[in-house]
Structure 1
Amino acid sequence: MSANDFSLQSLIRPEAAEPAFVFDGTLVSRVEFLARVEQTAAWLAAQGIGKGDVVAVWLVNRVEWIALLFAAARLGAIVAAVNTRYRSAEVAHLLKVSGAKLMVVEAAFRSIDFAAILADIAKDDVPALQQLAVVGADRIPAQWPCVRFDAFDAVHPPAPLAQGDVDRPVLLYTTSGTTKGPKLVAHSQRTLASHAVSIANALQLDPQRHSLLAMLPFCGTFGMTSLLGFIAAGATIHVLDAFEAAPALKILSEHRITHSFGSDEMFRRILALTDAPRPFPHLEICGFAAFQPGWRELAAEAEARGMSLFGLYGSSEVQALFSIARGGDTFANRIEGGGWPMSPDAKVRVRDTESGELAAHGVSGEIEISAPSRFLGYFNNPEATGDAITADGFFRTGDIGRLRGDGAFVYETRAGDAMRLGGFLVAPGEIEDELKSCPGVADAQVVAVDLKGQARCVAFVIAAAEPPQQEALTARLRERLAGYKVPARIYLVDAFPVTDSANGVKIQRARLRAMAMDRIATE
């Protein structure tokens, strides 16, 4: 196979279904899309963008986003994906680390004031940034030169094409935010395109029969990977510019959508808008990531209403939809995170976090992955890359899970969230589910703390209408759980600290741990 067989351009299949995309009712054929890629490549070249240059893309889901990625690939340039939830400090960090020369930005979207966010960024903090290109307006108030993104309606000389660059960086994702700022995860055309083909093959996608509702943001691996997988399959893709439950429900109901991917909260909101007993008869697979408490109950409700949820696993480093459950799994196994890798060439192993040895089937430890979808490394950060990759090329995921023994694996929790209590690794969800089954408990989160030299867990509980008695909760847990799993403290709170990410709202367990230690200290 030639290098061009692994280019993003190779994903566009001439025999595919039409249209390729539907944006808010506007149809875009594959011929039209390819023309827009050519126009965008010429426009980027006219702005001085060439091989190795970085273009930051700060857009909602629109055809310009995809055209910019494919056009950058043709030029040998790199796209840095900017989360539309980001604000000034996060945007400045990404621009500085990536060294972006050009940023393509929305003029406005809903309540987001892009110009105000940019106004809070000191020009000296992002010295590489030379120009802004605005979609939807001639310019916005900013301290950088502005041009209108007019690639689709202006004529520029054809761009020179970069050849044989499928193994160079083409797309930079941000990892989940950290206190020091996110790292940039670099992927090549080969890693993106080969994984997209693996998804299309593993899901046995038929361009004439299958279609996707794309409701996740393209700036994250979850949204981009599912998009590229269905482009590779040649299937029609209905795109939401940003998730809202009502338009998602309308598209699912009216367009015979067969596949969609999202968070548990997204599917919960969609189901809440309809009282039809089985509202989506054409849906085959809803792949979901569980971010919120109560996801098992959601999966059971969805199953009863004909919406089959499939557990997934992925990360920016190995891409989303790295693996998925199978239809033949029992319901309990199907909704668990993990499943079977999409690529037949992917390898998953589990390493005992204490002994450092590879763990046997059924034994929890850190998940390590080798796969064609693995990232190139952290952009401009060789030290972090070296720390994340084993000597034999496996990515250390930082996630805890176990091998099932049938070729599948189970994701249990983040390594930072997993608790070693009484000599055993314990997933917080096990204790949280027990707490949520108690009268008076609306929601619960559990974290581990060091209490007088011992690892113990502490629970935070949001009360229902009738607040629970803490003594009663402890007594019930003692009846149902091993002693080392019973929380040393149970605190009532009004809400959990949360943070926004590209794929949804996540609970800040680090903040909960700090809250627990503060409360214990005052005692």
Structure 2
Amino acid sequence: MRPNDVSLQSLIGTDTAAGPAFVFDGTPVTRAEFSSKVEQTAAWLAAQDIDKGDVVAVWLVNRVEWVALLFAAARLGAVIAAVNTRYRAAEVAHLLRLSGAKLLVVEAAFRSIDFAAILADVDKAHVPALRKLAVVGADAIPAHWPSVAFDAFTADSPPAPPPQDDVDLPVLLYTTSGTTRGPKLVAHSQRTLATHAAAVAKALALSPRRHSLLALLPFCGTFGMTGLLAFLAAGATIHVLDAFEAAPALNILGTQKITHSFGSDEMFRRILALTDAPRPFPHAEMFGFAAFQPGWRELAAEAEARGMSLFGLYGSSEVQALFSIGRAGDAFTDRIEGGGWPMSPDARVRIRDTETGASAAPGVSGEIEISAPSRFLGYFNNPDATREAITADGFFRTGDIGRLRGDGAFVYETRAGDAMRLGGFLVAPGEIEDELKSCDGVADAQVVAVDLKGQARCAAFVIAAGEPPREETLIARLRERLAGYKIPARIYVVEAFPVTDSANGVKIQRARLRAIAMERIASE
């Protein structure tokens, strides 16, 4: 296969495209306009001394500039590090340090997010590679680094350098949960992204004249980016929300005759709650959902009765979102389960018994292992973690528990280990624990997931160092440093953590901590 066939650029030139590539806030962007934007952006990046192998961090909401930056970076052989707009100082600093980003493209402002204030809390010494900020929507923002306006394109700007043709170099870095202070960076190439986008478009039989996508999810994550690239590959129009809100989503779903959308169960729950119409989405064909909240089966049944067919799916940063999905021919109870049928005919899924290490038979639960063209290159600048994640024969150890169905599909059951799903994102307790341990008056900390009035939240237990800290003080400090969905709903001061002695040492009983937290919350 020629490099151009698996480049990001190959996704733009669909001859059968029937309408604009994107619609951002009601404004259409044709494929020709987007291609021109990519050329301009590549020239601008080159003028900022961005070259092959350089990393550009992108801290933007869903806008055309985000996508243009990714395609322009691919043209230059540069790398985009995706920054979640919900991140705060500690998380942004970690990502910038880990990626070695030379340039940060950032919003001037968005709703209540004060990007300048967050950057002011980032120690410049901790991110030595960062040279400059490029601000979208303003000439500059107050920060430790020089700022330029991102949209400073002029008619006499020099043209972009000749395109790079190495489609197997890293081009996009997603964050994924780690077991220590911060997440790892998952590296994907043009080949892994474009090949998977084409596979999704083919598996879903997407038609540019019949189908359209409502993009609900942020481009900074694989869940949002994969859907966008797949519909771009299909030549179908993509309607984009800059950030999810139920009311605008409901309006676009109805007025634009949207056929497909992908999101969390909570997103679709909020959309349905805004309308009393018995069947409000007559054009809906496939709404893929990830189940993060209790009651998702009841939601799926209600949605089905109202003409919104929900399809369970599976994915991760390492194998990309929409790796698999349920099929229309599946029984309802099977179709809504996480997992489903792999999009790529070249993908392989197997289950490994977590105790014996043997391959598990259909119906037997174990760790899900995946080999697929969509598999990541590795963890960026982290060869040790990459070796641990990949088997000798090239399968990715997902850390997820599931089972084979026996008909070619599989079922995702739960996440192995202690990672928590908060706000739709996978979060390692260590991220929050380390921030708590950096607070005055905290000697040690443990964080566990809890169910608080039907919402996935976390609770923390801390051991005091001297005078016990006040819960309000700790929460205020965490709000300065972490995204809101990572803030514990409760923080309890304890004298010691429950532990178990084993041959491998003393282990903290997280299950017991979770039970204690739920008991205390119930008593409140």
TM over 0.5: yes
Percent of aligned pairs with the same residue?
Answer: 77
Task: Tell me if the contact between 2:60 and 2:106 (Cα under 8 Å) persists in the aligned partners.
Answer: yes
Shift of 1:65: 0.2
Q: 1:495 to 1:315 in 2, by over 3 A?
A: closer
Matches within 5 A, 1:24-423: 24-153=25-154, 155-176=156-177, 178-416=179-417
Q: Which blocks of at least 5 consecutive residues in structure 1 are unaligned?
A: 419-457, 465-492
In the superposition, the TM-score normalised over structure 2's length comes to 0.82
Q: Secondary structure of 2:413's partner?
A: strand
Q: 1:59 to 1:35 in 2, by over 3 A?
A: same
Q: Which amino acid letter does the alignment assign opposite residue 395 of structure 1?
A: F
Q: 1:15 to 1:141 in 2, by over 3 A?
A: same
Cα distance in structure 1, aligned partners of 2:518 and 2:214: 47
Cα displacement string for residues 425-479 of structure 1 (whole angstroms, at most 9, x for unaligned residues): xxxxxxxxxxxxxxxxxxxxxxxxxxxxxxxxx9977679xxxxxxxxxxxxxxx
Task: Tell me if the contact between 1:216 and 1:503 (Cα under 8 Å) persists in the aligned partners.
Answer: no
Q: Secondary structure of 2:97's partner?
A: helix
Cα distance in structure 1, aligned partners of 2:456 and 2:35: 51
Task: Tell me if the contact between 1:8 and 1:189 (Cα under 8 Å) persists in the aligned partners.
Answer: yes
The equivalent of 2:9 in structure 1 is: 9
Cα displacement string for residues 187-223 of structure 1 (whole angstroms, at most 9, x for unaligned residues): 0000000000000000000001100000100000000
Q: Secondary structure of 1:282's partner?
A: coil
The equivalent of 1:478 in structure 2 is: none
Cα distance in structure 1, aligned partners of 2:290 and 2:512: 26
Cα displacement string for residues 66-101 of structure 1 (whole angstroms, at most 9, x for unaligned residues): 000000000000000000010000000000000000
Shift of 1:515: 2.9
Task: Tell me if the contact between 1:263 and 1:503 (Cα under 8 Å) persists in the aligned partners.
Answer: no
Q: Which amino acid letter does the alignment assign opposite residue 513 of structure 1?
A: A
Cα distance in structure 1, aligned partners of 2:327 and 2:519: 47
Q: Does 1:515 align with 2:513?
A: yes
Cα distance in structure 1, aligned partners of 2:486 and 2:41: 35
Cα distance in structure 2, aligned partners of 1:6 and 1:242: 29
Q: 1:289 to 1:332 in 2, by over 3 A?
A: same
Number of residues paired by the alignment? Answer: 454
Q: Secondary structure of 1:366's partner?
A: strand
Q: Secondary structure of 1:340's partner?
A: strand
Cα displacement string for residues 328-381 of structure 1 (whole angstroms, at most 9, x for unaligned residues): 001000000000000000000000000000000110000000000000000000
In the superposition, the TM-score normalised over structure 1's length comes to 0.82
Shift of 1:165: 1.1
Q: Secondary structure of 2:345's partner?
A: coil
Shift of 1:177: 6.0
Cα distance in structure 1, aligned partners of 2:230 and 2:251: 23
Task: Tell me if the contact between 2:38 and 2:69 (Cα under 8 Å) persists in the aligned partners.
Answer: yes
Task: Tell me if the contact between 1:51 and 1:162 (Cα under 8 Å) persists in the aligned partners.
Answer: no
Q: Secondary structure of 2:135's partner?
A: strand
Cα distance in structure 2, aligned partners of 1:519 and 1:30: 52
The equivalent of 2:441 in structure 1 is: none
Task: Tell me if the contact between 2:292 and 2:456 (Cα under 8 Å) persists in the aligned partners.
Answer: no
Cα displacement string for residues 465-523 of structure 1 (whole angstroms, at most 9, x for unaligned residues): xxxxxxxxxxxxxxxxxxxxxxxxxxxx99754999x999689999973634767999x
Q: Which amino acid letter does the alignment assign opposite residue 99 of structure 2?
A: S
Shift of 1:3: 1.1
Task: Tell me if the contact between 1:260 and 1:286 (Cα under 8 Å) persists in the aligned partners.
Answer: yes
Instruction: Say what the alpha-carbon RMSD is for the aligned residues.
Output: 2.8
Q: 1:232 to 1:151 in 2, by over 3 A?
A: farther
Q: 1:313 to 1:215 in 2, by over 3 A?
A: same
Shift of 1:164: 2.4
Shift of 1:128: 0.2
Task: Tell me if the contact between 1:361 and 1:403 (Cα under 8 Å) persists in the aligned partners.
Answer: yes
Shift of 1:18: 1.6
Q: 1:333 to 1:141 in 2, by over 3 A?
A: same
Shift of 1:163: 2.9
Task: Tell me if the contact between 1:39 and 1:151 (Cα under 8 Å) persists in the aligned partners.
Answer: no
Cα distance in structure 1, aligned partners of 2:518 and 2:328: 46
Q: 1:372 to 1:495 in 2, by over 3 A?
A: closer
Q: 1:378 to 1:210 in 2, by over 3 A?
A: same
Q: 1:278 to 1:494 in 2, by over 3 A?
A: closer
Q: Secondary structure of 1:385's partner?
A: helix
Q: Secondary structure of 1:278's partner?
A: coil
Q: Which amino acid letter does the alignment assign opposite residue 22 of structure 2?
A: F
Cα distance in structure 1, aligned partners of 2:293 and 2:484: 9
Q: Secondary structure of 2:350's partner?
A: strand
Q: 1:292 to 1:497 in 2, by over 3 A?
A: farther
Task: Tell me if the contact between 2:167 and 2:191 (Cα under 8 Å) persists in the aligned partners.
Answer: yes
Task: Tell me if the contact between 2:211 and 2:237 (Cα under 8 Å) persists in the aligned partners.
Answer: yes
Cα distance in structure 1, aligned partners of 2:126 and 2:451: 42
Q: Secondary structure of 2:57's partner?
A: strand
Q: 1:345 to 1:461 in 2, by over 3 A?
A: closer
Q: Secondary structure of 2:227's partner?
A: helix
Q: Secondary structure of 1:158's partner?
A: coil
